[in-house]
Chain A
Amino acid sequence: GQQLNQSPQSMFIQEGEDVSMNCTSSSIFNTWLWYKQDPGEGPVLLIALYKAGELTSNGRLTAQFGITRKDSFLNISASIPSDVGIYFCAGPRSQGGSEKLVFGKGTKLTVNP
């Protein structure tokens, strides 16, 4: 079935550094979503991408839909302590005639002040 592989699994960075993470799949996706989960909370949607090559920003966050449609990238510029959390990529999959989300295992980000 469709699986999403995220890397790295975890990152430890200093405040102010830029961050890059990615998500890859063996299948083509027509939509990519990036979520952030604060510790002990539910995920919150950050960015949605709908077109190959699309580059979308949300504040210090920038995400790109890969040209091959099998990958996506998330960058965070000038990290701050509140960026700590787990970042998940997600994409649609068809099952039983309806469309649902499949999630990667996440990239856990730790920011040292």
Chain B
Amino acid sequence: DGGITQSPKYLFRKEGQNVTLSCEQNLNHDAMYWYRQDPGQGLRLIYYSQIVNDFQKGDIAEGYSVSREKKESFPLTVTSAQKNPTAFYLCASSELGRRLWQFFGPGTRLTVL
């Protein structure tokens, strides 16, 4: 089955620690995205990548970093510089020619204690 996987589903970290969230897709999509969701809020774009070894900042990139070494993978690192990291993180992907048709993973809920 084709799809997007995010792991783990729940993640707990101590304040001051960096943490990396995994996102893998086997849809052969070129574009991948990371969103952050807070209660009662819409999805806000953190980073996106349209091609391997290239990525762009979204609206709230501060305190986050990404890499795109493989087409299938787009990991997100939440650094200690992110002031309010506790949130639900969603990864998505799309075909390059159909960027608006984004398919989402199941999300990772990060709690920083």
Q: Which residues of A contact B (CB under 8 A)?
A: 4, 9, 31, 33, 40-45, 48, 88, 90, 92, 96, 98-106
Contact status B43-A48, CB under 8 Å: no
> Do B99 and A100 touch across chains, with their CB atoms under 8 A apart?
yes
Q: Are A106 and B102 in contact (CB under 8 A)?
A: no
B104: chain A residues at CB < 8 Å are 42-44
- Say whether chain B's binding surface is mostly helix, strand, loop, or mixed: strand
Bound together, the chains give a CA A4 to CA B41 distance in angstroms of 11
Residue of A nearest to B57 (CB): A96
Given contacts A98-B56, A103-B43, A41 and B106 within 8 Å (CB-CB): yes
Q: Is the interface of A mostly helix, strand, loop or mixed?
A: strand
Cβ-closest 5 pairs across A and B: A42-B104, A103-B42, A103-B43, A105-B42, A43-B104
B57 to chain A minimum Cβ distance, whole angstroms, is 9
A90 to B109 alpha-carbon distance, docked (Å): 22
A-B contact pairs, 15 of them (CB 8 A): A9-B40, A40-B106, A40-B107, A41-B107, A42-B6, A44-B104, A88-B42, A88-B43, A92-B99, A100-B48, A100-B99, A101-B45, A103-B42, A103-B44, A105-B42
With A and B bound together, what is the CA distance between A44 and B106 in angstroms? 10
Flag if B102 contacts A101 (CB, 8 Å): yes
Interface residues of B in 42-80 (CB under 8 A from A): 42-45, 48, 50, 56, 58
CA distance A51 to B100 in the complex (A): 15
- Measured in the bound complex, the distance between the Cα atoms of B4 and A102 in whole Å is 21
A48 to B91, alpha carbons, bound, how many Å?
Answer: 20
Residues on A with beta carbons closer than 8 Å to the beta carbon of B90:
42-43
Q: Are B100 and A33 in contact (CB under 8 A)?
A: yes
Interface flags for B98-112 (1: CB within 8 Å of A; 0: not) read 011111111101000
Write out the residue numbers on chain A whose beta carbons fall within 8 Å of the beta carbon of B48: 100
Contact yes or no, A42 B101, CB < 8 A = no
- The residues of B that contact A31 with a CB separation of less than 8 Å are 100
**Chain B residues near A43 (CB, 8 Å)?**
43, 90, 104
B91 shortest CB reach to chain A, Å = 8
Instruction: Tell me if A105 and B40 are in contact (CB < 8 A).
Output: yes
